[in-house]
Structure 1
């Protein structure tokens, strides 16, 4: 089978190679999946660069999630061949992938392949983080990198819950689309003072929670936007730069800054919470109440173009790899 493999750490466009490897066989509690489609997420790229919470064991496959058809099952697996499933694993940019049974989510017919390929990482993270933010109805939630696929999901979820949102952008070309999804206010970090604008928007009260994916100066400014007792949930560092936080501000406003990693959150919460999130996400996607647009699809031999496109600024949808 053909699979994307990397045998050294570095820039994905330089290190990822299309390779012929033996088709693996599932062991106990494992499933062999014929891959239909897999997205290119920031976490996939950070993994190849060895900047993610999971370290690669070289040589390694790449890609963390996808949709496919169950081809074969190992011992103790209670699924049948031929089922369409969303799954997580290491090495989903491949014709076939091995996934643990516990990672599989049967996909309803109402969810198309392009949406099912993205079912886990962004939707589950967005749903879980909006829950963790604990913003009341009619309260304010702020998110950096609002134009990202994750940001668009958060906007849609908050709109359904009656939560007002402020999103930061670096360019104004997606502003109309973001407002159409329900974003209440847009702040351009290149042309406006973020903290001054948020203070104006919220009548000086600040926001209850910030979801930050950027780090650096943007995160430092976003902290100033929190109201008394507010929380910043950090889930990425797209800028590659560490933020500088005002300690006095944290003390006297009683602010909390903590990280969020979906893998740890899924391990930490009870099974009922995980099931509730899965059921709610699937229902929202199946009903079309939240959208997961796709901008372009690439084959395995176009992996360099796929990764380059995924990192291109101003994208309006996800990039998929389709074997």
Structure 2
């Protein structure tokens, strides 16, 4: 990897295996957000992050807060929300299993307009949070855990001038200069040393333990990536 920084010697295999794809994905999502909303709008508003129990969403919540913005997480379960708030030093996270989660999100925004959503869920959830957004808000979507459609129709998108932007990890290779790629890698290594808890492991299985690994992946409230080790 000529020209790219070398990984630190103390980087574990489990963190190394998930670090770059998750960190680079998070950075690309934030770049997509800034293509869709001005810095002034972002500074004055709040940003909703769905799927807040996932590694990428935790990274987004951390990076947004570090940049001085106002992120609000949305997890599926209360357990995941509580865990995320503890791991991210008081991050604001609501749980969609609560009937009043929309009111909770509005309260966590503290009077700020929700001007952006970083969404890995899609499906019907988009319709459920759309009413919370300001006009001209940006929905940056990078996954479809809840279904392949966006859950809202053209009349609402057009009438409220919502911005819909898709983000995919692979654009990192073609859109960024080698210098910017190297900076992303360097930043990823720094963050792994600073906050290894952001890159959690949910279990490590041998190749003969396929069924156990599948069960671990499908377990509710899974806390971290599942790995195979030869």
Aligned-partner SS, 2:216 = helix
Is 1:271 matched up with 2:178? yes
Return the index of the structure with the highest Cα Rg.
1
Residue by residue over 1:200-232, the C-alpha shift from the partner in whole angstroms, topping out at 9 and shown as x without a partner, is 443565322111111211122233333232211
For residues 106 and 117 of structure 1, the distance between their equivalents in structure 2, rounded to whole angstroms, comes to 14
For residues 145 and 221 of structure 1, the distance between their equivalents in structure 2, rounded to whole angstroms, comes to 14
Matched with 1:118 is 18
Is 1:151 matched up with 2:51? no
CA gap 1:256/1:183 in 2 versus in 1, 3 angstroms: farther
Alignment of 1:67-82 (within 5 A): none
Residue by residue over 1:78-108, the C-alpha shift from the partner in whole angstroms, topping out at 9 and shown as x without a partner, is 88xxxxxxxxxxxxxxxxxxxxxx9x97421
Is 1:127 matched up with 2:127? no
CA gap 1:140/1:188 in 2 versus in 1, 3 angstroms: same
CA gap 1:193/1:182 in 2 versus in 1, 3 angstroms: same
Is 1:142 matched up with 2:42? no
CA gap 1:116/1:224 in 2 versus in 1, 3 angstroms: same
Give the C-alpha shift of residue 199 in structure 1: 3.5
TM-score by length of 2: 0.83
Contact 1:230/1:255 (8 A) holds in 2: yes
Alignment of 1:211-250 (within 5 A): 211-250=118-157
For residues 274 and 320 of structure 1, the distance between their equivalents in structure 2, rounded to whole angstroms, comes to 26
For residues 110 and 164 of structure 1, the distance between their equivalents in structure 2, rounded to whole angstroms, comes to 33
Match of 1:192 among 72, 92, 99: 99
CA gap 1:205/1:246 in 2 versus in 1, 3 angstroms: farther
Matched with 1:307 is 214
Q: Which runs of 5+ in 2 are unaligned?
A: none
Root-mean-square deviation (Å): 2.7
Matched residues, number: 223
Aligned-partner SS, 2:170 = helix
Matched with 1:174 is 80
Contact 1:166/1:183 (8 A) holds in 2: no
For residues 161 and 289 of structure 1, the distance between their equivalents in structure 2, rounded to whole angstroms, comes to 19
* More helix per residue: 2
Matched with 2:168 is 261
Give the C-alpha shift of residue 183 in structure 1: 5.6
For residues 146 and 49 of structure 2, the distance between their equivalents in structure 1, rounded to whole angstroms, comes to 15
